[in-house]
Amino acid sequence: MNDLGFGLALLVVGMGGTLLSLWILSLLVLLLKRFFPYEEVKKADGPSH
Amino acid sequence: MNEALWAGFEGLLLGVSHLTLGHLVMLVIGGLLLYLGIRHGFEPLLLVPIGFGAILVNIPLAGLMEKGGILRTFYDAGVLTEIFPLLIFVGIGAMTDFTPLLENPKILLLGAAGQFGIFSTLLLALALGFTRPESVSIGIIGACDGPTAIYVTSRFAPHLLGAVSVAAYSYMSLVPLIQPPIMKLLTTEREKNVVMAPVRKSVSGRTKILFPIVATVLTSIIAPLGTPLMGMIMLGNLLKESGVVARLKQASEQEIANVVTLLLGLSIGATMQAERFLKIETLLIMVLGLVAIALDTVMGLLFGKLMCLATRGKINPLIGAAGISAFPMAARVAQTEGQRYNKKNYLLMHAMGANTGGQIGSVMAAAIMLSVLRGLGIG
């Protein structure tokens, strides 16, 4: 493989792989957020008398 | 008696007699790095020890980089073994808050687009006649991430470590000068004025704890050779988010990070010996480093424009420029530029998300590159 082919292979596989990996990671984050939703912390009530 | 006096006197002159023009030039370059770090605050934590290391190693006959010399010992123990950049990563992870990214995970894609400079600069370096391992090391300047650049370069082209590291850290600190003209050129008035909705609080504590674990497992399965890089940054983040190891978190982001930064900077400076540094290749590497960061910015902005289009104007393309690893400078630049065109526009938190995405993206790009290179029989 010549240098141009080597560089182009790295460009395509490298950029494609990075985009794909981070896209999958973003989907996993969405799943995490769905399974473990954010809950507003309720403010403690004042002392009862 | 006279002979002994004369010999002793000659001993005192040995340093002067061995001083070459190259040494003098490197002393000036070391001084320039110190000046940039001290006077202008350009990455002072790194440029000050690098500059001083460059001065130390260019004192004739001092032998600091010869076998047994103190800088050589630091270099062999921490850079050649890749321990220093990895320990720095634990500190970076402990200091990084991924919440803005987790609030809007789509922004992670901007962190991927911002790595285009790595691969395109690699192509340019090959075209200029650098060898494949050298081109890989030059391209990685586009990661805009010092430890990643050092990790990859020490593995593929250790003789370029000085030039690559100085280029990486210098340009990271120059992001506020490099990016704005490109941002101005590549975005329309309408795009610059897009107001993004405030970030909603939507991330639970469990998600923040699970994220570093999930990210490590996923990315390591895809690109196993990058596991040390991603593993260390995510370990640091887990220490932070778990909330149960405050001492380890503090040590990672302060004591360990500080000591390692000092030793790493000195070791990098020590690679800047006149005979290795003063070459036309160094100049080319500096130019290619600038091109790499400019191309990162271009692709980040173009991807931002695409996301703006896909979301029907909900994303301001300016935050695309923050999809690089230079944290938090790139995010601040996006905020400043956004405010320049629309005073009511607060892009900072969105840009912080893209910026932390850029940190993950740069590590992922390096990891994938290492794995692809192994597949191609290099490394």
Amino acid at B184: K
Q: Is B9 within a domain? A: no
Q: Is B345 within a domain? A: yes
Residue B200's CB is within 10 A of a number of other CB atoms, namely 9
Q: If residue B327 lies in a helix (H) or strand (E), which one and from where to where? A: none
Say if residue A46's pLDDT is above 70.
no
pLDDT at A45: 59
Encode pLDDT of A4-33 as tens digits.
999 999 999 999 999 999 999 999 999 999
Q: Is B366 within a domain? A: yes
Residue B298's nearest CA partner among B183, B128, B163 is: B183
ipTM of the modeled complex? 0.90
pLDDT at B312: 94
pLDDT at B7: 84
Residue A9's CB is within 10 A of a number of other CB atoms, namely 15
Q: For residue A44, give how far its alpha carbon lies from the nearest alpha carbon of chain B (Å).
A: 19
What is the number of structural domains in chain B? 1
Residue B38's CB is within 10 A of a number of other CB atoms, namely 13
According to DSSP, residue B279 is labeled S
Residue B188's CB is within 10 A of a number of other CB atoms, namely 11
Phi, psi of B9 (to 5 degrees): -65, -40
Say if residue A49's pLDDT is above 60.
no
CA nearest to B360 within chain A: A22
pLDDT at A47: 59
For B115-174, give the DSSP string.
Answer: THHHHHHHHHHHHTT--HHHHHHHHGGGG--HHHHHHHHHHH-GGGHHHHHHHHHHHHHT
Q: Is B2 within a domain? A: no
Q: Which two tokens stand for residue B237?
A: 């983040």
Residues of chain B with pLDDT under 50: none
Q: Is B10 within a domain? A: no
B81, B224 in Cβ contact below 8 A?
no
What's the CA gap between B123 and B137, in Å, rounded? Answer: 12
Neighboring chain B residues of A39 at a CB cutoff of 8 Å: 204
B245, B239 in Cβ contact below 8 A?
yes
Interface contact flag, A32 B207, Cβ < 8 Å: yes
Interface contact flag, A11 B122, Cβ < 8 Å: yes
What's the CA gap between B180 and B193, in Å, rounded? Answer: 15
B92, B309 in Cβ contact below 8 A?
no
Q: Which of A1, A14, A36 sits opposite B368 (nearest CB)?
A: A14
Domain around B156:
19-375
pLDDT at A43: 60
Residue B143's nearest CA partner among B352, B378, B323 is: B323
Q: Which of A1, A10, A29 sits opposite B211 (nearest CB)?
A: A29
DSSP E strands in chain B: the ranges are: none
pLDDT at B117: 97
For helices B227-242 and B348-375, what crossing angle results, to 10°? 150
Q: Is B90 within a domain? A: yes
pLDDT at B150: 95
B154, B161 in Cβ contact below 8 A?
yes
Q: Is B39 within a domain? A: yes
Q: Which of A14, A32, A39 sits opposite B211 (nearest CB)?
A: A32
At B342 the three-state DSSP class reads coil
Write the CB contacts of A49 (distance below 8 Å, at least 6 apart in sequence).
Answer: none
A7 at the B interface (CB within 8 A)?
yes
Interface contact flag, A7 B116, Cβ < 8 Å: no
Phi, psi of B171 (to 5 degrees): -70, -30
pLDDT at A44: 59
B286 at the A interface (CB within 8 A)?
no
